[in-house]
Chain A
Amino acid sequence: MTPPSEMVHWWFATGFLILGLLQLTEAVVGHEVWTLRAWRRYLWPGVLFTLGVLMWPVMTFFTNSTIHMLAHGSWAQVLMLAGAVELAVARGKLRSRYWRLWSSLALVISGAAFLVHEQHGWLFSRAAFLHHTLGWTLLVAAIFPLVQAFRPRSLTAAVGFASTFLVTAALLYCDRDTAAIFGHLSQYAGVPHR
């Protein structure tokens, strides 16, 4: 009854696409204009928190290995915590700009979880390649919220942070359960399909 795991990747890709678009738009129009309407203020952190909540069923139903379960659980926790922190900042309950550091930590934990739970090499299959790529992308991208914590008005950091979500979405959309990557597919990966 559970959907193929590639579909779950596509659903979360859609969530990350929304996050990326919202973050990119805020970067372009500026924080002051973006926060003029209350509902817009809660949009990005709300979606982030919701993605964290939705990650729990993934952890519950996709238990093909302990390490997968731990990775999904850690993503659920950091997404919810990052979303909750950003919601509190939007509401005005938290005021320090250094709360953005939690987003940086969330990216580090998420990236590490990607790398740790992918047991195969880069060219084992497309899914393995994407997991490695996603892991390193998130680890490197952790620099953007780190910079934002110290330089909140940095356009480069804001666009970089937004691009992280867009790149993550694109990579997740590319995921297939069994498919070749650059012509490589391990004989142990299974029968490929489009």
Chain B
Amino acid sequence: MSAEIARELRTEGATHQVVAVSWRIRFVRSLGLIVALAGIAWAIAQPYRITLLDPFGQGFWWLLSEPPLYVVVVGLLFHLIVAPALAEDLER
């Protein structure tokens, strides 16, 4: 048996593992931002869903309910709270 072939296989396996991990890290780091961008895109497509843009004459509940901004906030919270620790764990 050639030791060289065995070494090549091990290197190839390790490369696959590194690629898989780096793909997951990229996913974790970008997911929150993608969600936040989706919220911004929604806000641009349907600006009337954000009553803060025209707050006069709006009641309390209408000023509280800003669905596109909810999406942006969820995406940012994920990016700032969940993603960093998770990416760090993946890098170990």
CB distance from A2 to the nearest CB of B (A): 9
Closest to B61 in A: A3
Q: What mask results when residues 20 to 64 of chain A are scored 1 for a CB within 8 Å of chain B, else 0? A: 011011001100011011001001000000000000000000000
Within 8 Å by CB of A33, from B32, B67, B89, lies B89
B86 to chain A, nearest CB (A): 6
Cβ of A33 and Cβ of B82 under 8 Å apart? no
- CA–CA, A167 and B64, complex, Å: 23
Taking the closest CB of chain A, its distance from the CB of B12, in whole angstroms, is 21
A interface residue count range (under 10 / 10 to 19 / 20 to 34 / 35 or more): 20 to 34
Chain B interface mostly: helix
Cβ-based interface call for B40 (8 A): no
Q: Are A28 and B71 in contact (CB under 8 A)?
A: no
Interface size on B, residues (CB 8 A): 20
* Chain B residues, Cβ within 8 Å of A11: 65, 70
* A46 and B65 alpha carbons, distance in the complex (Å): 23
- Give the distance in Å from the alpha carbon of A3 to the alpha carbon of B78 in the complex: 27
List of A residues within 8 angstroms of B43 by Cβ: none
Q: How far is the CA of A91 from the CA of B91 in the complex (A)?
A: 25
Find chain A residues with CB under 8 A from B78 CB.
Answer: 18, 21
User: CB-CB < 8 A to A37: which residues of B?
Assistant: 85, 89
Which residues of chain B from 71 to 92 have any CB-CB distance to chain A below 8 Å in the complex?
Answer: 71, 74, 78, 82, 85-86, 89-90
Q: Which residues of chain B are within 8 angstroms of A194 by Cβ–Cβ distance? A: 48
**A21 contact from B31, B61, B64, B67, Cβ within 8 A:** B31
A183 within 8 A of B: no
The interface residues of chain B lying within 8 Å CB-to-CB of A40 are 82, 85-86
Residues in B1-32 with C-beta less than 8 Å from chain A: 24, 27-28, 31-32
Check if A28 sits within 8 Å of B24, measured CB to CB: yes
Q: Chain B contacts of A14 at CB under 8 A?
A: 67, 70-71, 74
Name the 5 nearest CB pairs between A and B, nearest first.
Answer: A3-B61, A7-B65, A14-B70, A10-B67, A36-B89
Q: Which residues of B contact A (CB under 8 A)?
A: 24, 27-28, 31-32, 35, 48, 61, 64-65, 67, 70-71, 74, 78, 82, 85-86, 89-90
